[in-house]
């Protein structure tokens, strides 16, 4: 027998109030009162982020001399920047670091999946993996710079055990320095990725995995066809975060590990902007490069989403043709 009280309660929840229905009929925005609470946040966002960005874009059209007379030069800073081969070398470095993206996404995802049910004491392992994330990149960078220096502790150890071929100039060789930095950044952010993917996998119903095993799915089949698609929004979010990190949060690693060297072999855009602005006083050029950096942060993820969709559409059209 149905409880009348529950019927009354359900009706009270699902049925809109008379005043709400009246506002809807008049076309009055129902959430207008709630939106008022967002105004302080929006004002703070505009004041802290967008206003300085607009001012920076405005100053990029000037021969900017802080505290002095700045002359309007139009797109002069951009023309000079795009004609500079060093700028394109730095952009190439930035794109090279993007090659580490699959590693930074797939490695923590695989380990998080293993820790879900294939490893004893998963909580302990997650804590161990997460330890580097709580350390300052500046301190960790100094430690690794000492370890990886030419004829440093690592090279000495490899030489002592007879592996002379592996005693390499890890941070002073132009071909080695960027892959080494990719591995170090992976080590630093690995635990955070494992933690996020573990939380996402914990929300996936166990019955889905059990059903796939009954159908004969192996480890990798279950991982690629069940686990990864089940947490696709989390994977996309982590990937976007990593892309933004490549453009915005590499500074501390580059500054401490290599100083952008050898030459410009490891320099990133944020480090180049710092150099121009704080060391050499090319304020207008640094402002123009900052605008380019912001545009790349926006465009690269958009292209990363649109290009695969376009490829899948083209493949689908060819398959149906």
Nearest to 126 by CA among 134, 234, 142, 103: 134
pLDDT at res. 96 = 93
Sign for the CA dihedral angle at 43, 242, 129, 230 comes to positive
Measured CA to CA in angstroms, residue 31 lies from 35, 38, 107, 159, 198 at distances of: 6, 11, 43, 69, 36
Q: DSSP 3-state assignment of 63? A: strand
The pLDDT of residue 26 is 56
Task: List, in sequence order, every residue forming a beta bridge with 72; answer none if it has no partner.
Answer: 62
Give the phi and the psi of residue 71 in degrees, each rounded to 5. Answer: -105, 135
Distance between CA atoms of residues 206 and 51, nearest Å? 48
Give residue 252's pLDDT. 87
- Per-residue pLDDT, 9: 43
Residue ranges of the chain with pLDDT lower than 50?
Answer: 1-13
CA proximity to 278, closest of 296, 297, 251: 251
Task: State pLDDT tens for residues 97-106.
Answer: 989 888 999 9
Could you tell me if 268 and 115 are in contact, meaning their C-beta atoms sit under 8 angstroms apart?
Answer: no
CA-based nearest residue to 105, from 309, 312, 304? 304
pLDDT score of 245: 86
Q: What confidence score (pLDDT) does residue 22 get?
A: 58
């Amino acid at each position: 027998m149905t409880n009348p009280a529950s019927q009354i309660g359900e009706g009270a929840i699902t049925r809109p109030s008379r005043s709400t229905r009246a506002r809807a009929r008049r076309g009055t925005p129902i959430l207008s009162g709630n939106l008022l609470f967002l105004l302080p946040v929006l004002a703070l966002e505009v004041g802290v982020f967008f206003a300085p960005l607009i001012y920076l874009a405005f100053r990029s059209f000037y021969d900017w001399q802080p505290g002095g007379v700045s002359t309007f030069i139009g797109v002069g800073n951009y023309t000079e920047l795009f004609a500079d081969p060093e700028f394109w070398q730095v952009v190439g470095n930035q794109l090279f670091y993007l090659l580490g993206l699959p590693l930074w996404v797939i490695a923590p995802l695989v380990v998080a999946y293993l820790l879900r049910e294939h490893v004893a004491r998963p909580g302990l392992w997650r804590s161990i993996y997460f330890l580097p994330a709580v350390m300052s990149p500046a301190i960790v960078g100094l430690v690794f710079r000492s370890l990886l220096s030419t004829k440093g502790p690592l090279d000495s150890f490899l030489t002592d055990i007879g592996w002379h071929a592996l005693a390499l100039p890890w941070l002073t060789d132009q071909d080695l320095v960027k892959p080494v930095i990719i591995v170090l950044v992976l080590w630093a952010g690995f635990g955070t990725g494992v933690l996020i993917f573990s939380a996402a996998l914990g929300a996936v119903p166990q019955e889905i995995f059990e059903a796939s095993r009954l159908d004969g799915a192996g480890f990798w089949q279950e991982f690629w066809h069940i686990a990864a698609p089940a947490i696709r929004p989390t994977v996309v979010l982590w990937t976007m975060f990593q892309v933004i990190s490549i453009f915005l949060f590499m500074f501390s690693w580059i500054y401490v590990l290599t100083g952008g060297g050898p030459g410009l072999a490891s320099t990133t855009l944020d480090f180049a902007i710092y150099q121009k602005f704080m060391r050499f006083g090319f304020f207008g050029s640094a402002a123009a490069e900052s605008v380019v950096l912001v545009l790349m942060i926006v465009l690269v993820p958009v292209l990363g989403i649109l290009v695969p969709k376009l490829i899948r559409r083209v493949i689908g059209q060819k398959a149906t043709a």
